[in-house]
Each structure stands twice: as structure tokens, then as C-alpha cells.
Structure 1
Amino acid sequence: MMLLVPGDPLRPRRPDEHFAPEAQAAREAGLTVAVVDHDALAEGDDAARAVASVPGGDTAIYRGWMLRSERYAQFTRVLAERGVAVRTTGEQYRRAHELPGWYPTLAAVTPHSTWTTTAARADFDRARAALGRGPAVVRDHVKSMKHYWAEAAFVPDVADGDAAWQVASRLRQLRADDFVGGFVLREFEHFTSAEVRTWWVDGRCVLIGPHPDTPYDRPPGEIDLRWLTPLIGALGLPFVTADLVLRADGVWRVVEVGDGQVSDRPVSIDPAAFIAAVVDSLRLESSG
């Protein structure tokens, strides 16, 4: 199996500094490591050039910066032309990366959500009406702007259409060209813990650790994942993360699912341990 990572913008033959520790650990574990031009992939102007240094004839996983779903699909196509099979297909990436792809399967264990497929006010109002009343969090299909909580994330009452639209519009402005899909409205729930990031390979949890935003907040003891395992398995996706948080009533909730290839590793998890737990599991599942 081959690990693909973004190249350093200033030294394109070397891995990006952020992913260099994982690249080194992968090499030490016996994986081939190749770099790709993330900027060229993200812009979509010359995807073939972006993978020019990738050797052919192997199965690959990507560990890098987020790509829009259509760009990732283009990425897999140009790799296929070089004889490289990516462990996660374009369709699988979209279902993990965008909330409408994973939400129906996990609806019982995540805040109630509605969404639009455009940025139009009329569509937003329909989604808002479907959610009902009360506080909510607004985001797009991929990301929130939680660091701009009061102005671009939290809606005190979705019944107040103008106030809700003001928050959504600010989110749209801040996300700019990175805005994906449409608006998502999620019912607000009171949480009492830092997020826990869980890593899954073919429906099996292979690693539990902190969220990258709070890398030194360790999970509170053992977490029984029997309630979540069949749901992640039902997604049928090869490599995902699920971020969990404790609700005020002591119930674990899923607040986010993501494609594992573009989910960040918290700095508190040793890269060698990460490669051993995640990448080697992918390699073994692939060969099996």
C-alpha cells in the first residue's frame, strides 16, 4: 500500500510539514510514500500534473488537506490512469465528507438536522420550518464556523427567520469559495465534554483519541462503542472518523463524521502509533 501526502509548497518533492511525521512513520513501517500537489488538485486545473510523481501499480490512501468532493473524484480518476487504485472511491468520499451522505444512517445518535442544496433564502426558510422552533447551529454540508459562534454559527431560535438568516448569511460570507452544498441546520444540544475523535476502518474502531482542537483532553476513561459500531458499519465506508461528545444527560452523541483521509490527527497522538493503528489496518483489510 502507498501513502499519498501533499507536497511542501516551497519544496514540492518533500511532504508538507504538517504531514511529514506521518510520512516518515509510514516509510519506517514499510509503506511507499509519494507526494501530490494539493494546490493543483484543489484548483482542478491540472490534476494529472498534481500526481505526476506518484508511481503506478499500487493501492493508495491519501492523508492530506480537505478537497471538495468533485476534486477528490477527479483525483481518483487521474490516479486510476496511472494504475493506482485509491482505497476510498469518489462516491465514498462524498458520503463521508458531506453531512447529507452520512446523516440518514446516524440520525438516531446525532442532533436532528435539516439542510438545503442551495444558498437561497427560500430554501433556507423551508429547512428552518422543518426543524421547528428553538436554538440551532448552522453550517454548510462540510463545516461550521464555530470559532465565530455568535455571528456565524449559533441561532437562538430558528422561528426568528430574519435573525436566523443573518447568521446563515454571515456563515456564507466567511466560508466564501469554500462553502459546500448548502446550509445545514442542526438542533442545538447541551454538551459537557471535549470532543473525542474515533477512527474506523471498514466498520471497526481502530483508534480512540482527543479531537485536534483539544489535543490534550483525553477521553474520559473507557468508551463503550457497541451502540455506534453497527451504525458505522452500516455506512459501508472504508475509512472514516466519528467525533463524539457527552450530552448534558450523560449520553454520547455523534457531532461529526468525516473521511479519515482528511481528518486531522491530534498532535498528542504519536505518528508511528497512528500509522500502526490506522494505515496498517487499511493495508490489512485491503489485502484480506
Structure 2
Amino acid sequence: MLLVPANPLRPRRPDEHFAPEAEAARAAGLDVGLVDHDALARGEEVERAVASVKGGGTAVYRGWMLRGERYAAFADALAGRGVTLRTTGEQYRRAHELPGWYPALAEVTPRSAWTTGTDRADFDRVRAELGAGPAVLRDYTKSMKHHWHEAAYIPDISDGVAAWRVASRFLRLREDDFVGGFVLRRFERFTTAEVRTWWVDGVCVLVGPHPDTPDEAPAREVDLAAVVPLVSGLGLPFVTVDLALRADGVWRVIELGDGQVSDRPAVIEPGTMIAALSAGNP
């Protein structure tokens, strides 16, 4: 079964953003269920949010992001209706939040350190741990890269005043969406746009552009040799891995995310996505 958010204005129809995947799933012979994403995101009336989901079996969600605790409640509510999400609450959190996946991929991604919460002293501890030099700031789930100079890039993390100014701006922009703590990542210079790869049960099933740069395909084939055993070792059922080519010619992991809430670039046909999910190959 494929689960997608309902259209807020027409709750018996899929959200327009996910309607093509819902249509492709039905064409492939899969059941499609609708859920109230807004209710799930608020953590309110979770049982009502999944009330229209019928039947038992295994399901995959394709929808908007949910906080880890909201996803776990979503999974529990579905279990009460005899539906098991292919990705458990614990697996979702490991994929969705950087501290969950970073230790396994540390050798192929920029060096990172993080706080638990927003305390200035903890932030300064993390700065000291990374040392001097440029860094990129984010929280456990998201950066503010579209506010690069004011809320993402820190030219030198040894400058505590300037670094905290960026962190404070980041916190104001994220507001209630802030998750977990501050994450500082060593800045690395990349020469390509990001590539989004899709993995089912540890196997890469699709390679395409990042949704932010759908028209920028890599000039050379992505080398996944160093990444395959690490992603496979995570034991996660459905994830995306975003990579870019570093200035020295090495492919580096920018982000790992839960595939259920990772956006699909328009150049990847919805039917291709559904085939990859249901059969484990494109």
C-alpha cells in the first residue's frame, strides 16, 4: 500500500504534489490510502488522521516531512488498523536525523559535531571540537542553505561571536521547526550540483538530480563504491543519499534522508519511482 497526504481542500483526493505517484501506484495494482498530514504534524487526533486507511498489510508513506515523534505516533496508529509501515519509527529517526546516520557514514561525509538543544555553552563546545576554519550550520534534519551567508555558512568557527550570530539567525528562521540541536559540519568545496540517489533495502535503485537543481545532471557517473557497504550496513528499508563531487575529485555524501519524505525531481517519472519501491529495481 502507498500512503500519501490528502488534499487539505478535497480530503478524498491526494495532495496535488503526490497525486502523480498515487496514480502510478494504482496503475501498478497497489492500494492507495490517504492521511491527514496536518493532523499528523500537529500530533493531534492521530487516529482520525489515518481513519480512511483500510485493510492490513505493509505500507510505504510518500509525503511531507514529519518529526520523529510524530512519525512514531503515525506508525502506532496504523498498526492499530492492521497496517505496518515498512519503515519503523526507530528507522525513520535514524535516517531523518543526522546523528542517526552520521557515525556509519563519517568517512564519506564532512566531519560533523552537534549539540543537544540550543545552549550557547554546548554550541561553543562543538566549535572547539571541530577547531578553526569554515563550517556549515544546520539542525538535525535541515539546513537553511537558501539563507547561506546569514544562517548557514560560518567563515571561521573559531570566531565565537560571529558563529553565534549565524546560529541565532538560524534559530529564528527555523522557529518551531527546529529539530534536536545545532550541527556544525566542516565546509568542503564541491564542483558539481548535488545528485540524489534512492536506495531500497541497501541497494541503489535510482540515480537522478537533486530536486533543487533538476536540470543539472552530473558530467560524470557517480562513484558509489565507497558508499554502498556503508548504506547497506545501516539496514534501512528506504532512504535517499545526496552526493556531490569535491574539488579533489572524490564523491562525498551531503545528506542521507528517509526516502518517504524525500522529494522526487520531476525528471524521474512517478511510475519509475513506484516500480523501484515495489520491485526493488527501476
TM-score class normalised by the smaller sequence: over 0.9
Equivalences, count: 281
Q: Which amino acid aligns with 1:93?
A: Y
Q: Which amino acid aligns with 1:269?
A: I
- Helix, strand or coil at the partner of 1:30: coil
Corresponding position of 2:195: 196
The separation in 2 between residues aligned to 1:141 and 1:273, in whole angstroms, is 30
The separation in 2 between residues aligned to 1:7 and 1:216, in whole angstroms, is 29
Query: Deviation of residue 221 (structure 1)?
Result: 3.5
Query: Deviation of residue 274 (structure 1)?
Result: 1.5
Give the RMSD, CA atoms, in angstroms. 0.9
The separation in 1 between residues aligned to 2:271 and 2:147, in whole angstroms, is 34
The separation in 2 between residues aligned to 1:99 and 1:215, in whole angstroms, is 24
The separation in 2 between residues aligned to 1:154 and 1:55, in whole angstroms, is 46
After superposition, where does 1:30-179 map in structure 2 within 5 Å?
A: 30-179=29-178
- Helix, strand or coil at the partner of 1:227: coil
Query: Deviation of residue 42 (structure 1)?
Result: 0.2
- Helix, strand or coil at the partner of 2:280: helix
- Helix, strand or coil at the partner of 1:52: coil
Q: Does 1:250 align with 2:249?
A: yes
Query: Deviation of residue 223 (structure 1)?
Result: 2.3
Query: Deviation of residue 107 (structure 1)?
Result: 0.2
**Normalising by structure 2, what TM-score?**
0.98
Check the 8 A contact 2:222/2:251 in 1, yes or no.
no
The separation in 1 between residues aligned to 2:43 and 2:279, in whole angstroms, is 30
**1:79-124 deviation per Cα after TM superposition (whole angstroms, max 9, x unaligned):** 0000001100000000000000000000000000000011110110
- Helix, strand or coil at the partner of 1:73: helix
**1:34-92 deviation per Cα after TM superposition (whole angstroms, max 9, x unaligned):** 10000000001110000000013111000000000000000000000000011000000
Query: Deviation of residue 281 (structure 1)?
Result: 2.0
**Normalising by structure 1, what TM-score?**
0.96
Q: Which amino acid aligns with 2:108?
A: V
Q: Which amino acid aligns with 1:253?
A: R
Corresponding position of 2:6: 7
Check the 8 A contact 1:195/1:243 in 2, yes or no.
yes
The separation in 2 between residues aligned to 1:220 and 1:94, in whole angstroms, is 33
- Comparing 221-230 and 267-276, the one that deviates more: 221-230
The separation in 2 between residues aligned to 1:226 and 1:160, in whole angstroms, is 37
Corresponding position of 1:227: 226
Check the 8 A contact 1:199/1:278 in 2, yes or no.
no
The separation in 1 between residues aligned to 2:129 and 2:277, in whole angstroms, is 39
Gaps of 5+ in 1: 283-288
Q: What percent of counterpart residues are identical?
A: 71
- Helix, strand or coil at the partner of 1:215: coil
Query: Deviation of residue 279 (structure 1)?
Result: 3.6
The separation in 2 between residues aligned to 1:89 and 1:116, in whole angstroms, is 25
Q: Which amino acid aligns with 2:93?
A: R
The separation in 2 between residues aligned to 1:212 and 1:279, in whole angstroms, is 22
User: After TM superposition, what 4+ stretches of structure 1 lie above 6 angstroms from structure 2?
Assistant: none
The separation in 2 between residues aligned to 1:279 and 1:172, in whole angstroms, is 39
Corresponding position of 1:286: none
The separation in 2 between residues aligned to 1:153 and 1:226, in whole angstroms, is 30
